[in-house]
């Protein structure tokens, strides 16, 4: 399960004696290692006296993978687990409300909302891998060229340049209004005909301010396809309908239906970029 940044995660673990019986420990410690390597020890409590079941509440402050190490003494026992925390603004083409509406879920059925959010984030990443950034974000990118007449930015389409600064003891800043940018290719050149001295840090905004209907529709098709294939063997088989993929798609296996790929075709990156 993935948690939102700033939310409280209730951690839980059981203490068992060597025979496997739940036992109240003399001491219980939950050590949480954050993505930046720092360690914190939230207060632990036994959920009820004599149960041998323990919990600790941890307030998230950093996005990324967290590791939890439970240790008990009297009896000696240990347990390791992990959980993920989303970025404050995870990029998603479809909102939770849009995804739920497309799947036609009842308003009172919310038990799988976390799974749906994981799907929408995964779908967005898959589509952006084929089409470049869809959701607008700020990109910080290093270019190591020592001398170049042009620079090609790595994430397209590009909306605007924010700053260009060389890396070193005497940094040089290039005025972005003196640079010519091709948004679709990411090609940048100086208007005065000069070159760039590097290495340099390029900061720019990339993505699509307007998410076009074909991209939104493709995301919905992929969501419904993945939702159907995750329902388990007790559900009706999907063979023979247009959610199937007739052959594996390089890099995606059977996750992307062909009709979604066809909708994305106008926005696909050229082979040398994708």
Calculated CA dihedral for residues 22, 24, 25, 27, nearest 10 degrees: 130
Closest C-alpha to 257, from 239, 241, 268, 244: 244
Where in the chain are the domains? 2-85, 96-133+210-267, 137-206
DSSP 30-70: EEEE-TTS-EE---EEESSTTS-EEEEEEE--S-EEEEEEE
Structural contact between residues 116 and 99, judged by C-beta atoms closer than 8 angstroms:
yes
Q: List the pLDDT tens digit at each of the 274 positions of the chain.
A: 799 999 999 999 999 999 999 999 999 999 999 999 999 999 999 999 999 999 999 999 999 999 999 999 999 999 999 999 999 999 999 999 999 999 999 999 999 999 999 999 999 999 999 999 999 999 999 999 889 999 999 999 999 999 999 998 899 999 999 999 999 999 999 999 999 988 999 999 999 999 999 999 999 999 999 998 776 554 444 444 544 444 554 544 467 888 999 999 999 988 764 4
Structural contact between residues 152 and 186, judged by C-beta atoms closer than 8 angstroms:
yes
SS3 content of the chain, % helix, strand, coil (to 5): 20, 35, 45
Tell me the two tokens of residue 239: 């063979």
CA 15 to chain centre: 34
DSSP 17-30: -TTS-B---SEEEE
Residue 162 backbone zone (phi > 0: left; psi -120 to 50: alpha; other: beta): alpha
Please state whether the predicted TM-score (pTM) of the whole model is above 0.85. Answer: no
Structural contact between residues 223 and 175, judged by C-beta atoms closer than 8 angstroms:
no
Residues 82-95 as b or e (16 or more Cβ within 10 Å = b): ebebbeeebbbbbe
Structural contact between residues 65 and 32, judged by C-beta atoms closer than 8 angstroms:
no
Query: Across-strand partners of 69?
Result: 31, 80
Rounded Cα gap, residues 31 and 205, in angstroms: 38
For 2-85, give the CATH class.
mainly beta
What length does the chain have?
Answer: 274
């Amino acid at each position: 399960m993935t948690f939102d940044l700033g939310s409280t995660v209730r951690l839980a673990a059981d203490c068992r004696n060597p025979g496997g019986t739940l036992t109240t420990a003399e001491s219980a410690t939950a050590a949480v290692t954050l993505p930046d390597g720092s360690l914190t020890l939230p207060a632990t409590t036994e959920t009820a006296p004599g149960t041998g079941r323990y919990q600790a509440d941890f307030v998230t402050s950093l996005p990324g993978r967290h590791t939890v190490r439970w240790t008990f003494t009297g009896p000696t026992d240990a347990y390791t687990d992990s959980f993920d925390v989303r970025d404050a603004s995870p990029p998603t083409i479809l909102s939770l409300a849009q995804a739920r509406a497309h799947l036609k879920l009842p308003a009172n059925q919310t038990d799988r909302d976390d799974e749906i959010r994981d799907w929408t984030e995964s779908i967005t990443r898959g589509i952006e891998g084929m089409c470049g950034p869809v959701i607008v974000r700020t990109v910080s990118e290093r270019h190591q060229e020592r001398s170049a007449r042009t620079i090609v930015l790595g994430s397209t389409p590009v909306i605007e340049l924010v700053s260009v600064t060389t890396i070193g003891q005497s940094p040089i800043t290039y005025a972005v209004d003196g640079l010519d940018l091709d948004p679709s290719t990411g090609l940048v050149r100086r208007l005065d005909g000069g070159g760039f001295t590097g290495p340099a840090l390029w900061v720019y905004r990339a993505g699509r301010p307007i998410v076009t209907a074909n991209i939104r529709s493709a995301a919905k098709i992929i969501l419904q396809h993945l939702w159907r294939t995750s329902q388990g063997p007790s559900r009706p088989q999907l063979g023979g309908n247009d959610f199937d993929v007739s052959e594996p798609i390089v890099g995606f296996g059977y996750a992307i239906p062909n009709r979604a790929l066809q909708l994305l075709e106008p926005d696909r990156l050229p082979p040398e970029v994708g």
